[in-house]
């Protein structure tokens, strides 16, 4: 068991590092105003779904995603070390009923771009307990991923995720959106601690940091931009995951923070949303592992047209601003 003095030292070290990262992203947060308004520029793509795991590769990093099951984002390898166990989404309509995982919606599109380091997936279909002709409720979910790996030997990697939720039905849609992330930093689950820094209700960025006490050189930083979570939770991974799948409505606990008991932990965010017919909302999460490293040159936009021309500056300026 860690001594109290050692825990206090770890906490101070993590907080100093997290605050430094917060200063680094202050200019990025200014892009949210442009970014959220332009996410609706995502265009339709021909259906190309198939039951296989998708792989993104860039620099020293490989990401694997199973869009057909709750496994979701199942691998994030950096220098051959897999830091990811599971990263996926759940939702429910309104306060009644229970949440279901995103893969229960039909997968409409999956498309790799940018020399296999950019990916767009789209889900869509009727949602909620009432799916009648008189009161149709329909949700479309677009997720755009971009992997930016460092040069071999740097140990660092960036992974961006942009989620757009759109009400494609003809009636207002109250929506609870959940994001669950179970990291195994340094390839091992036990021994992690984490802390969440809310945005203070000003629209972002919020900040989450997770560290592996067995490998002090490995640090995970996640920034949230666009929409702030209504609730969050950090705790043992199985506890959070089981509640998302137990057939009952879940409200995350806003509990222990910072979470300084080394464990095999996960964290989750819950967003309380309301979408009028035709309305959409964007949620961005910018995820870094050991991001203090020399980044590769900014890539050419190429044929990554699914983002729409308005979004390209956000993605490709992300590297420049770091």
CB atoms within 10 A of CB 5: 8
Q: Name the band, by pLDDT with cuts 50, 70 and 90, for residue 217.
A: confident
Q: How large a percentage of the chain has pLDDT more than 90?
A: 59
Which of these, 178, 22, 155, lies nearest to 89 by C-alpha position? 178
Listed residue (313, 241, 242) closest to 32, CA to CA:
313
Q: What is the mean pLDDT of the chain?
A: 78
Question: Are 242 and 281 spatial neighbours (Cβ–Cβ below 8 Å)?
Answer: no
Give the pair of three-digit tokens for residue 294.
């020399």
Predicted confidence band of residue 205 (pLDDT cuts 50, 70, 90)? confident
The pair of structure tokens assigned to 76 is: 């994030």
Asked if residues 133 and 107 have their Cβ atoms less than 8 Å apart, the reply is no
Could you read off the pLDDT of 13-42 as tens digits, one per residue? 555 554 454 444 433 333 333 333 333 343
| Residue 101 or residue 97, greater confidence | 101
Per-residue pLDDT, 45 = 38
Evaluate if residue 66 carries a pLDDT over 90. yes
pLDDT confidence of residue 43: 36
Q: What is the mean pLDDT of residues 58-63?
A: 96
At 227, the pLDDT band (50, 70, 90 cuts) reads confident
pTM of the model: 0.79
Q: Would you say 128 and 137 are in contact if contact means Cβ atoms under 8 Å apart?
A: yes
CB 182 within 8 A of CB 194: no
Q: What is the pLDDT of residue 13?
A: 55
What are the structural domains, with CATH classification, of the chain? Answer: 4-320 (2.70.98.40)
Task: State yes or no: pLDDT of 94 exceeds 80.
Answer: no
Query: Does residue 108 or residue 309 have the better pLDDT?
Result: 108
- Tell me the C-alpha distance between 88 and 228, whole Å: 18
Quick one: pLDDT band at residue 51, thresholds 50, 70, 90?
low
pLDDT band at residue 222, thresholds of 50, 70 and 90? very high
DSSP 135: S
Beta bridge partners of 77: 62, 82
* DSSP assignments along 176-239, one per residue: EEEEEEEE-GGG-STTEEEEEE---SSS--EEEEEEETT-TT-EEEEEEESS--SEEEEEEHHH
Cβ-based neighbour number of residue 267 at 10 Å: 25
Single out the residue of 268, 248, 233 nearest to residue 95, CA to CA: 248
Position 106 scores a pLDDT of 96
Q: Which of the pair, 250 or 9, is modelled with greater confidence?
A: 250
Cα 149 from Cα 78, distance rounded (Å): 8
- What phi and psi, each to the nearest 5 degrees, are found at residue 25? -100, 5
């Amino acid at each position: 068991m860690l001594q109290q003095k050692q825990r206090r030292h770890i906490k101070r070290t993590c907080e100093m590092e997290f605050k430094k990262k917060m200063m680094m992203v202050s200019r990025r947060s200014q892009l949210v105003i442009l970014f959220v308004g332009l996410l609706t520029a995502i265009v339709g793509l021909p259906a190309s779904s198939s039951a296989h795991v998708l792989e993104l590769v860039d620099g020293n990093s490989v990401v694997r995603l199973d869009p057909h099951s709750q496994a979701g984002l199942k691998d994030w390898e950096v220098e051959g070390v897999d830091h990811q166990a599971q990263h996926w989404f759940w939702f429910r309509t309104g306060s009644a009923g229970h949440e279901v995982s995103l893969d229960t919606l039909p997968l409409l599109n999956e498309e790799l771009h940018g020399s296999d380091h950019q990916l767009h997936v789209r889900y869509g279909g009727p949602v909620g307990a009432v799916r009648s002709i008189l009161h149709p409720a329909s949700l479309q979910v677009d997720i755009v991923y971009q992997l930016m790996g460092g040069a071999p030997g740097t140990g660092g990697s960036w992974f961006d995720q942009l989620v757009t939720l759109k009400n494609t039905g003809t009636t207002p849609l109250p929506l609870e959106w959940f994001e669950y992330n179970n990291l195994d930093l340094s390839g091992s689950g036990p021994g992690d601690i984490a802390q969440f820094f809310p945005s203070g209700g000003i629209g972002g960025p919020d900040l989450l940091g997770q560290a592996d006490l067995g490998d002090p050189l490995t640090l995970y930083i996640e920034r949230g931009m666009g929409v702030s979570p209504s609730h969050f939770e950090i705790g043992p991974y199985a506890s959070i995951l089981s509640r998302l799948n137990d057939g009952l409505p879940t409200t995350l606990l806003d509990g222990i923070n910072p979470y300084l008991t080394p464990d095999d932990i996960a964290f989750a965010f819950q967003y309380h949303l309301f979408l009028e017919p035709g309305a959409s909302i964007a949620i961005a999460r910018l995820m870094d592992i050991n991001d203090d490293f020399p980044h590769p040159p900014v890539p050419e936009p190429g044929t990554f047209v699914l983002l729409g021309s308005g979004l390209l500056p956000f993605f490709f300026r992300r590297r420049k601003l770091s």
